[in-house]
Structure 1
Amino acid sequence: MKIRLVNQGIFTTIDDINTALIPPTEGFYWIDADVDDLAVLQPVFALHDLAVEDCLSEEEQRPKIEIHEGHYFIVINSIRFDDEEIFLRALNIFLGRHYIITVTKQKINELRSLKPVLWEEEVTRPDRFLYHLVDLVVDNYFLVGDRIEARIESLEEDILMHTKKSHLTEIIGLRSEILWLRKVLGPQKDVIFTLNKKDLKLIDDQLQKYFSDIYENAVKIAETFETYRDLMGNLREAYQSSLANRANEIMRVFTALTTIFMPLTFITGIYGMNFDYIPGLHLRGGSYILLFIMLFLGFGMFYIFRKKDWL
C-alpha cells in the first residue's frame, strides 16, 4: 500500500495511514492499495461492507457506481490484449472528499501512466484524478481496438492466401472474446453516463461536463466492437467460402485428369480384348505407334485444358 499526498501534480509520500484521515490544507490523498490492504483501510475510512466484499470477491465484477455515505464506490475495467486473448482487470475506486483509494488485484498500466498526467495538469482534487484515470482507461480501449482490427485484417489475409483448419479455431476464439467484451462495455458506458449526468456531490459540476467527452468515446468504442462482431461473422463466411473454393479446385483437377485418361483407357480396353483379329495387332512396331497416339492424346487434351484455363 502506498499513500501519497498529491498537490498540483506533485507527490509526497505519507507513512502513517491515520494522517490521511485529516483533509490536507491543499491537495488530496491517493492511496494505491491491493485487496489485502482493505482490512486496514475499511475501519479507517469507514468503507462500506458491500463495496469491500465486491473487491474481495473472486467473481468478475460488472462496472458500476454505488453511492455510500461519505464516499462513492466505482468499478471500471481496464483492458489488455495479447494477440490471443482479451483480459479485463477490475479497477476498484473509493472516492471521498479529500482522498481517492484505488484497489486492484493485478497491476494496472493506466495507474502508472497517470502520474505524468497529474503532474502536467497540476491536479489538486480527487475528482479530477478520477476524471483523468477514467479517460486513460477508455483511451486504452481504442488502442486495443486498433490491435484487434489489425489482427482481423491479418487473419483475413491468411485465410484468403492459405486456408488452414486452425483459422476456424482462431475465428471462433476471437469472436467469443469480442462478444464477451461487448457485454462489459454496456455497463461501463452506463457508469460513465452516471458520472456525466447524475448530480454527484463529490464531483464538481464543471468537471461533470468533461465526462461527457469520455462518454462519447465510450459510445464510439461500443459501436466499434459491434462492427468487429460483424467482421468476425464475415470472416467466418470467408473461411467457409475459401474451403469450398479449394474443394472445387481439387475436384476440377481430378475431373480433368479423369477426362484425360478416359480415351487412353478406351484404347487399352479395345486392344486388351481376346479377339484373334484386331487391326494393327500384328503390325511391326504397332505398340510404339499406339503408345505415341496415347501420349499425343494425353498431352493434347492437357494443352487444351490449360489453354481454356480449366487446369
Structure 2
Amino acid sequence: MKKKINLRKVITKTFRADSKIGKAPGTVIYQGMKGDGKYSVEIITYSEDSYEEKIIDNFNNGIPKTNGDKVCWINVRGLSKEKEIEKLGKSYNLIPLTMEDIVNTNSRPKVDEYPDYIFCIMKMFYLDEDYNEVMEHVSLVLTGNTVLLFQEAEHDVFEGVRDRLRNSYGRIRTRGADYLLFALIDAIIDQYFLISENLLMKIESLEDKIYREANQDTAIEIQRLKKEVLTVRKPIAPVKEMIKRLYNTNNSLVTEDTKVFLTDAMDHSIQIHENIELYREMSVHLMETYMSHMSNRMNEVMKVLTIMATIFIPLTFIVGVYGMNFEYMPELDERYAYFVVWGVMLFIFFALLIYFKRKRWL
C-alpha cells in the first residue's frame, strides 16, 4: 500500500526587487526569502589518496586554494552575506554579473561560459521531513580544480556525493573538478524524479477523488495542483538545454571523459522534462474530468426529478379535476368513488414506475 504523502504547494517567493531598482548591473544584492542571516562554508579538499573536510563561518583566514592533483569543493550555505560572497567571488575572478546572479534567486537556470570558469544556475528540489516540497536556488562555478557551490539554506541533496568522497566510493576521487560538477548536477536531477513521482501520486489521488467524492473543494485542489506543476516545470524545463550546452562546450575545463557521463544526465533531464509535460497535461485534463463528472451528476439528478414530475403529472390532473367546485359531478354520488379514484392513481403510479424501469431510466 502506497504511503499517502501530503505535499503542500510550493511557496511563492517574494523577492526584494525594490532593492535593485536604480542600481548598476552587477550589484551584489541578495534577492530571496531565506535571508535569516545563517551562513557557513563547507570546504572539502580531496585527491585519490587524501580527504579533508572542514566548516568555517567566514574567510578571515584567507580563501582556500589548491594545487597539484587535489580538488576543492567550496559549499557556501546562505546567500544573505553579500560581502562574504563578493569577497569569495573576487578571489576567483568572477565577474560582477556572475556574482549578481548567484544571490538573485529569481535567476532562471542557465549555463554561462567564460575563459576562466563555467557558471551554472539550477533549482534544487527536495522534500522536507513533513513531505513538503522545497525549492532552492543553487549556483555552481567550475574554475580550475575547484568547484564553488552557493545555496540558500542548510539542507541540500548532496549527502550522497559527500559519502562517495569520504569513503572513496566509485571513481569520483580519481577524477577532476569537472566530474565533481557533474556529480553535483546529477544529484539535483535525481531529486527531480522524486518530485515527479510525488506529483504523479497527487494527480492519481485527485483523479480517484473526482469519481469518489467530488465537491467544490476538489476544484480548488485541482487548481492548486495545476499551479504546483507549473511551478515545478518552469525551473526544470531548461535543464536539458543546460546539460546539452555543457556536453557541446569546447571549454578545456570539461574533459571528454566527463562528457560521457553528461550524456547520462542529459537522458535523465529529458525524461524528467517529458514526465513534467505529461503531468501538466494530466492536471489540465483533471479539471475537464471534474467538470464532466459534475455535469453527469447534475444530469442524473435532473433525470430523477423529471421522472418524478412525469409520474405526478397525471395524478395531479386527476386531483385537479375532482378538486373543481361543480355541483353536478357523476362520480361524487357513487359510494366507492373515492376509493376508485385512489385505485386509479395508484395504478398509474406503479405502471409508470414499471415502464421507466424497463426503459432503464431509473
Query: What range describes the TM-score normalised by the shorter chain of this pair?
Result: 0.7 to 0.9
Match status 1:204 vs 2:255: yes
CA distance in 2, matches of 1:180, 1:14: 33
Residue 108 of structure 2: aligned partner: 62
Mean Cα deviation higher: 169-178 or 267-276 = 169-178
CA distance in 2, matches of 1:286, 1:128: 100
Match status 1:5 vs 2:69: no
DSSP 3-state at the match of 2:72:
strand
| Cα offsets for 1:115-139 (capped at 9, x unmatched) | 1233422523322211111111112
Residue 170 of structure 2: aligned partner: 121
Alignment coverage as a number of residue pairs: 310
Question: Shift in Å at residue 25 of structure 1?
Answer: 4.5
Residue 161 of structure 1: aligned partner: 212
* 277 and 68 in structure 1: CA distance in 2 versus 1, 3 angstrom threshold: same
Q: 1:75-94 maps to which residues of 2 (within 5 A)?
A: 75-80=121-126, 87-94=134-141
Paired residues of 2:112 and 2:118 also in contact (CA < 8 A)? yes
CA distance in 1, matches of 2:64, 2:207: 56
Question: Shift in Å at residue 92 of structure 1?
Answer: 0.7
Match status 1:229 vs 2:280: yes
- What amino acid sits opposite 1:13 in the alignment? K
CA distance in 2, matches of 1:50, 1:240: 48
Paired residues of 1:6 and 1:123 also in contact (CA < 8 A)? no
Paired residues of 2:43 and 2:73 also in contact (CA < 8 A)? yes
Paired residues of 2:110 and 2:120 also in contact (CA < 8 A)? yes
Structure with a larger share of its residues in helix: 1
2:267 to 216, 232, 247: 216
| Cα offsets for 1:165-207 (capped at 9, x unmatched) | 2222232332233345444334222211111111122222211
What is the TM-score normalised by the length of structure 2?
0.76
Residue 345 of structure 2: aligned partner: 294
- What amino acid sits opposite 1:78 in the alignment? M
Residue 240 of structure 2: aligned partner: 189
Over the residues paired in the alignment, what is the CA RMSD in angstroms?
2.7
* 225 and 213 in structure 1: CA distance in 2 versus 1, 3 angstrom threshold: same
Match status 1:264 vs 2:315: yes
Question: Shift in Å at residue 238 of structure 1?
Answer: 1.2
- What amino acid sits opposite 1:174 in the alignment? L
Q: 1:144-159 maps to which residues of 2 (within 5 A)?
A: 144-159=195-210
CA distance in 2, matches of 1:172, 1:236: 8
DSSP 3-state at the match of 2:333:
coil
Mean Cα deviation higher: 37-46 or 91-100 = 37-46
DSSP 3-state at the match of 2:158:
helix
Paired residues of 1:92 and 1:103 also in contact (CA < 8 A)? yes
Question: Shift in Å at residue 26 of structure 1?
Answer: 4.3
Unaligned runs of 5+ in 1: none
What is the TM-score normalised by the length of structure 1?
0.88
CA distance in 2, matches of 1:280, 1:109: 90
- What amino acid sits opposite 1:62 in the alignment? R
Question: Shift in Å at residue 149 of structure 1?
Answer: 1.6
| Cα offsets for 1:213-267 (capped at 9, x unmatched) | 1112111222222222222232222112112111110110110110111111011
Mean Cα deviation higher: 258-267 or 196-205 = 196-205
DSSP 3-state at the match of 1:121:
coil
CA distance in 2, matches of 1:305, 1:162: 28
Question: Shift in Å at residue 14 of structure 1?
Answer: 6.5
CA distance in 2, matches of 1:14, 1:251: 70
Question: Shift in Å at residue 273 of structure 1?
Answer: 1.2
Residue 247 of structure 1: aligned partner: 298
Residue 30 of structure 1: aligned partner: 73
Question: Shift in Å at residue 163 of structure 1?
Answer: 2.3
Paired residues of 1:3 and 1:13 also in contact (CA < 8 A)? yes
- What amino acid sits opposite 1:173 in the alignment? R
CA distance in 1, matches of 2:349, 2:154: 70
DSSP 3-state at the match of 2:323:
coil
Paired residues of 2:42 and 2:53 also in contact (CA < 8 A)? no
Paired residues of 2:126 and 2:157 also in contact (CA < 8 A)? no
CA distance in 2, matches of 1:19, 1:107: 23
* 295 and 129 in structure 1: CA distance in 2 versus 1, 3 angstrom threshold: same
- What amino acid sits opposite 2:54 in the alignment? T
